[in-house]
Chain A
Amino acid sequence: MVSFFSKLKESLVKTRQGFIEKVSQLVAVHSKIDEELFEELEEVLIQADVGIAATQRLLEEIRKSVRQKKISEPGEVKTLLREKMVELLGDPVPVRWSDTPPTVILVVGVNGVGKTTTIGKLAHRFRQEGKKVLLAAADTFRAGAIEQLEIWSARTGSDIVKHQPGSDPAAIVFDALQAARRRGTDVVIIDTAGRLHTKVNLMEELRKIKRVVGRELPGAPHEVLLVVDATTGQNALRQAELFKDATDVTGIALTKLDGTAKGGIVLAIKEELGIPVKLVGIGEKSEDLKDFNGSEFVAALFGEDRWE
């Protein structure tokens, strides 16, 4: 099997070209560390969707280190940047499991970020691990959403609980949890309709779904995953903020990192909201979803061959 690391590296080629190579160029053309260098570094980070706040913080930390360690070699700035990025992303945080099955994972996000696909990939992974999976088709709004999840259920050999399009999502969740208990399911993954975080009544609906889950199974949902499209700009921060407010998001699944997307938004979300990225999707195949690892991400971003 091709190692995940090389795949991640491959998928980040575009990012690396745009991002790290610019940094390398930058430190090469400057003979000393001055304001001009920082200004250009700022631009590079902003173009990677890192966002103003996180960019300022990274630059501030680099400045501090430069002062403290009396660094004068511009090349060192690249090493420092790498260090600070890994630091900001923090240690990997795994998906949470319940001690007593079923573990319930609620998947939320705005329209078109790849919720259903991510669920398909998650189901595939849990099935590979020999777990009994049940999918709850609580996206009753988008045309074809239930069919899409059914196809994934057939592909991965997972159970599915579904109602008619337009029915109450909370009722489906209720039925799914009942079924999971009866059938001794290990993990229930709930697909919800994509919704813009600004639609108050739709966010209220999510709150209700979460309430129903908690009432039926105390302690659940064990994981609330917010799916974020890696091409999203600064609006991802608002998304994370409002979804967190409605459903206590516990982790982020970053999708579509296989584009030219810089994925810099990961740093912004961690910096401003403290929500860890737990999963990352880097391709269209079932197995292209893995646990997120900050130092792996940064190492791949920097084009290193190994990571420790």
Chain B
Amino acid sequence: MLFEGLAERLQNTFKKLRGKGKLTESDINEALREVRLALLEADVNLAVVKQFTQRIKERCLGVEVLESLTPAQQVIKIVNDELTSLMGGDVSKINFNPAGPSIFLLVGLQGSGKTTTAGKLALLFRKQGRRPLLVGADVYRPAAIKQLEVLAKQINIPFFSLGEQADPVRIAEESLGYAKAQGCDLIIIDTAGRLHIDEELMEELKRLKNVLKPQEILLVVDAMTGQDAVNVAKSFHEELELSGIILTKLDGDTRGGAALSVKAVTGCPIKFIGTGEKLDALEPFHPDRMASRILGMGDVLSLIEKAQAAFDQEKARELERKLRKQEFTLEDFVEQIKQVRSMGPLEQVLSMIPGLGGAKQLKKLQEEFDEKEFVYLEAIINSMTPEERRNPSIINGSRRRRIARGSGTSVQDVNRMLKQFEQTRKIMKQFSELSSGKSTRKLKSFKFPF
């Protein structure tokens, strides 16, 4: 889980501070030692760690903490503030070309995930109404161009390349004409992975930059990179003047110290984060939310945005209409489950809910929420007749046995499903009353029925 290690350590540190009426300098020193260790184990660059703890110390020893009624809370707030500003303050904007097509150049070390990220970016911007073109200019790694071509086909996005024998600069140049012919307004160019000490390849990137004058030069960085991440970002930045950074593979259990370091050292904002293998697993980077996540405060805003993107507005209105008329049927139940599931794997969704960030609680919840249950639920409902789905009260013992056989489950499973549905219907009823203003107190008892 994202930053879990760091969050856990910091939380333990602050547990000791919490409830303390007054902090002494040695209290703060002890806490900062823990912070330092935690950050180092999270692969945050040493220079950055030193700077960070120094700043926190100065602020902690200032009046705002020592004279505050809840000093520990203040310390946590300061760490949160500083983490946020360390990671770049606000969400950074993406630069587009107001006249003509925009060009994005993706650069980075081998294996950082450039090609996959190119595909993800194309998909993301198409969702935002642009018409991207993917250009394969990695002529070195065997089958790299082929990889991008396959990805492009999967998501149905135009693709251009001249094959592995061509000069990358020529590929890029000719892609401009192709983009025009295809009516594309965003050209995403995948380049060869390289070591930042490889001067020859770095020259090639500079040529690409001079010829194309891209709106964005994005460095793709593996979030699992160690102390070296900063050097990588720094040297690419010196050569190319990066416009932003994309962190990949943040869905592992990396503590992602690289995220903390790169912005601090290079001044380049982190613009996107890759959070999964699927092509829709790319999100804008929100420094403030990430800081809260590190401190275990959850990431409610991301969750809400995810929910908004996943829930089909029209279906939601239809559901609302049905709720008012109390026509909520099993068919709607399946639809509802599908929409929740389209927000992503449950574990990911859960990790964003405040209070569930703690590793142990989350693991327990994951065990309880078996993803397979959804599959069973769907199977059971699919084994019913349309009549039964509309009017579950007609489902008697014999129908139950038939449904269980049809869905490969047991009668008990069918019973449980029907009960869950009843509960949902009740909650839905409360919910619709609530939205029409009959009661506000019931909101507290609202919970997902599964």
Chain A residues within CB distance 8 Å of chain B: 14, 43, 46-49, 51-52, 110-114, 120, 141-145, 147-148, 150-152, 165, 196-198, 229, 231-236, 238, 256, 258-262, 264-265, 284
Contact: A232 with B111, CB < 8 Å?
Answer: no
CB interface residues, B 89-116, toward A, < 8 Å: 109-113, 115
| Cα distance A111–B249 in the bound complex, in angstroms | 8
Give every chain A residue within 8 A of B254 (Cβ-Cβ).
233, 235
Closest to B225 in A: A231
Interface 0/1 of B205-231, CB less than 8 Å to A: 000000000000000001011111101
In the bound assembly, the distance between CA atoms of A256 and B222 in angstroms comes to 14
Contact B143–A47 (Cβ < 8 Å) = no
A residues less than 8 Å from B375 (CB atoms): none
Residues in A neighbouring B111, C-beta threshold 8 A = 111-114, 229, 256
Nearest chain A residue, comparing its CB with the CB of B371? A201
Residue B127 interfacial (CB < 8 Å): no
Q: Which residues of B lie under 8 Å from residue A234 when comparing CB positions?
A: 41-43, 226, 255
Asked if residues B251 and A144 are in contact (CB atoms below 8 Å), the reply is: no
Q: Is the CB of B226 within 8 A of A265?
A: yes
Q: How far is the CA of A143 from the CA of B120 in the complex (A)?
A: 13
A148 and B1 alpha carbons, distance in the complex (Å): 31
Q: Which of B141, B196, B222 has the most CB of A within 10 A?
A: B222
Q: Smallest Cβ distance from B280 to chain A, in angstroms?
A: 15
B292 to chain A, nearest CB (A): 22
Specify which chain B residues have a CB less than 8 angstroms from the CB of A46 in the assembled complex. 40, 46, 227
With a 10 A CB-CB cut-off, give which of B37, B147, B195, B251 has the most chain A CB atoms.
B195
B41 touches A52 (CB 8 A): yes
Interface presence of B144 (CB below 8 A): yes
CB neighbours (8 Å) of B46 from chain A are 43, 46-47
Query: Given A235-B255, A260-B196, A260-B197, is A144 in contact with B146 using a C-beta cutoff of 8 Å?
Result: yes
Chain B residues within an 8 Å CB radius of A148 = 141-144, 146-147
B253 and A198 form a contact (CB under 8 A): yes
A232 engages B225 (CB within 8 Å): yes
CB distance from A285 to the nearest CB of B (A): 12
Smallest CB separation, B151 vs chain A (Å): 5
Closest to B43 in A: A233
Select A229's contact among B1, B222, B255, beta carbons within 8 Å.
B222
Per-residue A-contact encoding for B123-142, CB less than 8 Å = 1, 0 else? 00000000000000000111
A47 near B249 (CB under 8 angstroms)? no
Closest to B226 in A: A233
Q: Report chain B residues within 8 Å CB of A113.
A: 111
The minimal Cβ–Cβ distance linking B123 to chain A, given in whole angstroms, is: 14
At the interface, yes or no: B449 with Cβ under 8 Å from chain A?
Answer: no
Q: List 12 A-B contacts (CB under 8 A).
A: A48-B227, A120-B142, A144-B143, A145-B147, A229-B111, A231-B109, A233-B224, A259-B109, A259-B195, A260-B228, A260-B231, A265-B226
Whether B228 contacts A261 by the Cβ 8 Å rule is yes
Partner among A120, A141, A196 whose Cβ is within 8 Å of the Cβ of B251: A196
Q: A143-B154, A260-B197 are in contact. Are A197 and B113 (CB under 8 A)?
A: no
Kindly list chain B residues whose C-beta atoms are within 8 Å of the C-beta of A48: 227
B150 is an interface residue with CB less than 8 A from chain A: yes
- Indicate whether B386 reaches chain A with its CB closer than 8 angstroms: no
Question: Contact at B222–A52, with CB atoms within 8 Å?
Answer: no
CB-nearest residue of chain A to B251: A196
Closest chain A CB from B136 CB (angstroms): 10
Beyond the given pairs A46-B46, A233-B258, 6 more chain A to chain B contacts, judged by CB atoms under 8 angstroms and listed by A's residue number, are A111-B277, A143-B148, A143-B150, A144-B146, A144-B149, A265-B226
> A196 near B249 (CB under 8 angstroms)?
yes
Given A111-B113, A143-B154, A151-B142, does the pair A258, B195 have CB atoms closer than 8 Å? yes
Residues of A within 8 A of B141 (CB): 148
Interface assignment of B252: CB less than 8 Å from any CB of chain A: yes
Q: B155: shortest Cβ distance to chain A, in Å? A: 11
Closest to B145 in A: A144
User: Does the CB pair B147–A262 fall under 8 Å?
Assistant: no
Rounded to whole angstroms, the CA-CA distance of A264 and B227 in the bound complex is 10
A152 to B229, CA, bound (A): 30
Q: Find chain B residues with CB under 8 A from A110 CB.
A: 224, 249, 252
CB nearest neighbor in B for A195 = B277
Q: Is the CB of A198 within 8 A of B227?
A: no
How far, in angstroms, from A73 to B115 measured CA to CA in the complex? 52
Measured between beta carbons, the chain B residues less than 8 angstroms from A262 are 226-228
Interface positions, chain B 218-274, Cβ under 8 Å from A, are 222, 224-229, 231-232, 249, 251-255, 257-258
- Chain A residue nearest to B40 (CB atoms) is A46
**Whole-angstrom distance between the Cβ of A148 and the nearest chain B Cβ:** 4
**A47 close to B144 (CB less than 8 A):** no
Flag B145-183 by CB within 8 Å of A: 1 or 0 each. Answer: 011111100100000000000000000000000000000
Interface string of B15-43 (1 = CB under 8 A from A): 00000000000000000000001001111
Contact between chains at B252 and A14 (CB < 8 Å) = no
A141: shortest Cβ distance to chain B, in Å?
8
**How far is it, in angstroms, between the C-alpha of A234 and the C-alpha of B40 when the chains are bound?**
9
Which 3 interchain pairs have the tightest Cβ spacing?
Answer: A233-B226, A144-B147, A112-B111
Instruction: Considering the complex, give the chain A residue whose CB is closest to the CB of B119.
Output: A143
Q: Are the CB atoms of A259 and B228 closer together than 8 Å?
A: yes
A143 lies within 8 A of B147 (CB): yes
A235-B252 in contact given A46-B40, A142-B147 (Cβ < 8 Å): yes
Contacts of B109 in A (CB 8 A): 231, 256, 259
Q: Report yes or no: A144 in contact with B43, Cβ–Cβ below 8 A.
A: no
Q: Of residues 382 to 423 in B, which have CB atoms within 8 Å of A's CB atoms?
A: none
A144 to chain B: closest residue by CB: B147
Q: Hey, which chain B residues are within 8 Å of A51, CB to CB?
A: 41
- Asked if residues B252 and A151 are in contact (CB atoms below 8 Å), the reply is no
* Interface pair B252/A197, CB less than 8 Å apart: yes
**Which residue of chain B has the shortest Cβ distance to A152 in the bound complex?**
B142
**CA of A20 to CA of B442 in the docked complex: distance in angstroms?**
66
Contact mask for chain B residues 270-291; partner A; CB cutoff 8 A; 1 contact, 0 none: 0000000100000000000000
Q: Which residues of B are found within 8 Å of A52, using beta-carbon distances?
A: 37, 40-41
Which residue of the partner chain B has the closest CB to A237?
B41
Chain A's nearest CB lies how many Å from the CB of B449? Answer: 26
Of chain A, the residue at the smallest CB distance from B44 is A233
Contact B253 A259 (CB under 8 A): no
Contact B252 A196 (CB under 8 A): yes
Residues of A within 8 A of B197 (CB): 14, 259-260
